[in-house]
Structure 1
Amino acid sequence: MVDAVRSGPTMAVVARMAGVSVPTVSKVVNGREGVATATRDRVTAALKQVGYLREPSTPADQRGSGRLVDVVMHGLRSTYASNVLGGIEAAAREIGLDVVVAASDAELGSRESPAGGWLDHLIDRGTGGVLLVLVETTSAQHEWLTHFGIPCVIVDPITTPPPGVPTVAASNEKGAYDVTRHLLDLGHERIAHIGGSPPKLCSKARLSGYRTALNEAGIELRSDYVLDGNFHEPEAITAMHQLLDLPEPPTAVFAASDLMAVGACRAIRARGLEVGRDISVAGFDDVDEARVTYPALTTVRQPLIDMGRVGLDLLARRMRGEEITGHTELPTELVIRESTVRRH
């Protein structure tokens, strides 16, 4: 890795300004972990002040050939990932692009951020564009991409993206509204929500859709009916047990993901209750697990293949020089199965 620009301030200069070590500056530049938030902010401010940007080893006339695209994803082992990748690969074949796929650090159990040094790799091999799928990046990393003229598109952004970066996602709020409305139409009024991770945009949107449906039905939102499962099945199992322990447990549960809904079903069965007959359960995503669990899970189908396809198409257009900004929201679909039953 080259740590200095060919003309301009070096990492050592930035380190002195921020009062940190050179390795700490390198971690911030490359998005690595192990840097306190306050320190990261101080280093980022110094980087902006001096206009620091590392010069890649690949000459400018050999970068961005227009055929190579880097896809950085939050894990590669899930049904979510395989479906999004399917859309990306189909679009790449049609457009004539080559794709390099890498998993974020989250594949190894860390937070949803690209692996350390990813900018070095993609810039040095002449990447023409970057598609980020369900990963979180820093403003310094986006500024670096902009400096080197490498366009970026985000699919399923975790947090609010930088201005001017196009994003693609499912209609999370509308999907959550539709499934909550379905439970209301079945006669349920005590409807709980096992949410994802509160800071994530999709979690906020799904909670908002749930809340809106209840408000329209004249049902007050109960704080004890809203728990976080952080998109993990074990935490959803714990949340469901907490709901069942309430003096007045819910008659229906909407989980913000299918995996959490499966966890809720396991907790219900562990109490000797029957999903559907005793408590209705609905999820979100329509991954394979929703179809093979018993009873089959009512859920909200995300257009995952289309999300990958549209994301790559937008990136290809940006690589051709088109001015593409804003957010593209793709419609979801309510899929009704046996896990939701009319309230007796």
Structure 2
Amino acid sequence: MAAGTRRQTKKSSIRLADIARETGYSLATVSKALNGRADVSEETRQAINTVLRKYGYSRKATTGKKQKLIEIVFQDFDNVWALEVMRGAIREAKLHDLSVITTEGGDRQHPDSTWIDNMLRRQIAGAILVFSNLTRIEQNKLHSRGIPFVLFDPFGDPDPATLSVQADNWTGGVIATRHLLALGHKRIGIITGPEEMMCSKARLDGYTSALAEHGIPADPELITEGDFTTPGGYAQAISLLENPHRPTAIFAGSDLQAMGVYEAARQLGLRIPEDLSVVGFDDVQTASFLGPALTTVKQPLQDMARASVRMLVEALTTDDVLQPHVIMPTSLVVRNSTQQLDE
């Protein structure tokens, strides 16, 4: 095999974990060094760069007007969830001398039809698409101009060649349901997100898996489909709670839906958590200020946004992204909206 071929093979197969293992540094340190973070010593940076050169990993030039602007595409920008994403992106972009702009429009599956051409005229460096994806033609337009994009919490199963960042939604569904089961709840309702979304399916699968661990079959009467909004959460909670054999706990697939559950419980004269335990998902900034403070699954939205920006920077400055698909861990934040079920 020719030397050039060997180098290309190594280059295409090297990953972040390989660099960390060979240098002895953590994944976080390697990522910081690759992204030019100031909190990495020059000695560490040189050691990591030496290994990168060994595998034929080279950086692209970063000159040019378009390198200064990142665009985030939302279906809508009218809630605290979107704000959390923006906060993380802006903070990370600032470290790389980048600015962030937003576009609102389209639906969960695709941006507005005029977005791609308008974006090209804006000469952005890269794009973060929240939920939605692009057609093959649109992807080719970006690739031909050297504009990378990242799918944030992708709507469906992303193409292996597409950069993506998401949370471990299945584990989130498991730990939320296990928490309620540990408190003695057996009739646990769930308000999912749109059934066609990958994150909704994963959270529902986690819920049913946790029930199965305790020998409890999933009851279709306790499973409702929401839309990740507060009005949707309210409407679905009303349908669950007006049932004569109502659930004693509800797992809402988002904190916004959990807020709707709170309002439904208030209107029906149910106290949280005395009469109804509630668990949300996301841990948006307002979750801890609800009355009572919301127990929820923390989806690290700001960290996910920061990782998305770092991936764009890496795609702009190197020939390969070492970690093209990031799945971030979820964790349970226990507050005051859940309690032991009184038998």
Task: Place the TM-score, normalised by the shorter chain, in its bin.
Answer: 0.7 to 0.9
**Paired residues of 1:198 and 1:228 also in contact (CA < 8 A):** yes
> Is residue 93 of structure 2 the alignment partner of residue 92 of structure 1?
yes
Q: 3-state SS of the aligned residue for 1:282?
A: strand
Assess, with a 3 A threshold, how the Cα gap between structure 1 residues 258 and 65 changes in structure 2: closer, same or farther: closer
- 1:334 corresponds, among 327, 332, 335, to 332
Is residue 260 of structure 1 aligned with residue 257 of structure 2? yes
For residue 211 of structure 1, report the CA deviation from its aligned partner. Answer: 1.0
> Using the alignment, how far apart are the partners of 2:201 and 2:325 within structure 1?
16
Inter-partner Cα distance in structure 1 for 2:146 and 2:119: 12
Give, in angstroms, the shift of residue 341 of structure 1. 0.8
CA spacing shift, 1:65–1:273, aligned 2, 3 Å: closer
Distance 1:249 1:77 in 2: 32
Cα offset for 1:138?
Answer: 2.7
**1:129 aligned to 2:126?**
yes
Q: 1:273 to 1:150 in 2, by over 3 A?
A: same
Conserved? CA contact 1:193–1:225, under 8 Å: yes
Give the counterpart of 2:173 among 149, 161, 176: 176
Structure 1 segment 242-257 matched on structure 2, within 5 A: 242-257=239-254
Provide the residue aligned with 2:234 in structure 1: 237
Shift in alpha-carbon separation, 1:241–1:83, aligned structure 2, 3 A = closer
Report the alpha carbon displacement of residue 266 of structure 1 after superposing the two structures with TM.
1.5
1:137, distance to aligned residue in structure 2 (A): 3.0
Q: Which amino acid aligns with 1:269?
A: R
Structure 2 letter corresponding to 1:159: G
Counterpart residue number, 2:28: none
Once the two structures are TM-superposed, the CA of residue 115 in structure 1 deviates from its matched residue by: 2.8
The one of 136, 141, 149 equivalent to 1:139 is 136
**Corresponding position of 1:282:** 279
CA distance, structure 1, for counterparts of residue 143 and residue 308 of structure 2: 18
Alignment counterpart, residue 293 of structure 2, candidates 293, 296, 316: 296
For residues 106 and 90 of structure 2, what CA distance do their matches in structure 1 show? 22
1:83 maps to which residue? 84
TM-score, normalization: structure 2?
A: 0.76
The alpha carbon displacement at 1:76 in A equals 2.6
Matched, 1:167 2:168: no
1:15-26 map, 5 Å:
none
Q: Which runs of 4+ in 1 moved over 4 A?
A: 62-65
Q: Are the equivalent residues in 2 in contact too, given 1:64–1:129 (CA < 8 A)? A: no
Q: Would the alpha carbon gap of residues 63 and 122 (structure 1) be closer, same or farther in structure 2, given more than 3 Å must change? A: farther
Paired residue secondary structure (2:101)? strand
SS of equivalent residue, structure 2 residue 282: coil
- 1:193·1:227 contact (CA, 8 Å) conserved in 2? yes
Which amino acid is the alignment partner of residue 265 of structure 1? Answer: Y
> Alpha-carbon deviation of 1:104?
2.6
Question: Are 2:133 and 2:151, in contact at CA under 8 Å, matched by a contact in 1?
Answer: no
Q: What is the CA-CA distance between 1:285 and the residue it aligns to?
A: 1.0
Q: Distance in 2 between matches of 1:86 and 1:235?
A: 25
Distance 2:102 2:227 in 1: 25
Measured against aligned partners, the alpha-carbon deviations of 1:208-254 in whole angstroms (never above 9, x if no partner) come to 11111111111111111100111122232222222223342111110
Question: What pairs up with 1:99-114 in 2 under 5 angstroms?
Answer: 99-105=100-106, 113-114=110-111
Whether the 8 Å contact between 1:63 and 1:128 is mirrored in structure 2 is no
Relative distance call for 1:273 and 1:124 in structure 2 (3 A) is: closer
Task: Tell me, yes or no, if the aligned pair for 1:175 and 1:206 is still in contact at 8 Å.
Answer: yes
Moved more, 164-173 or 319-328: 319-328
Provide the rounded CA distance (Å) in 2 between the counterparts of 1:238 and 1:76: 22
Alpha-carbon distance change, 329 to 295 in structure 1, aligned in 2, over 3 angstroms: same
Q: Which residue number corresponds to residue 40 of structure 1?
A: none
Per-residue deviation, 1:318:
0.7
Corresponding residue of 2:60? none
Cα offset, 1:270, TM superposition: 1.5
Q: Unaligned regions of 5+ residues in structure 1, if any? A: 1-61
Unaligned runs of 5+ in 2: 1-62
Distance change >3 Å, CA 278–CA 98, structure 1 → 2? closer
CA contact (8 A) 1:160 1:201 kept: yes
Aligned residues: 279
Q: Deviations over 1:132-161 (max 9, x none)?
A: 123343333223222333211111111222
Deviation at 1:65, TM superposition (A): 4.2
Out of 186-195 and 118-127, give the one that drifted further. Answer: 118-127
1:186 matched residue in structure 2: 183
3-state DSSP of counterpart to 2:283: coil
Q: Distance in 1 between matches of 2:196 and 2:134?
A: 14
1:150 aligns with 2:151: no
Cα pair 1:104 1:112 within 8 Å, conserved? no
Q: Tell me the percent identity.
A: 38
- Paired AA for residue 217 in structure 1: H
Between 332-341 and 126-135, the greater mean CA deviation after superposition: 126-135
Which amino acid in 2 is paired with 1:147? S
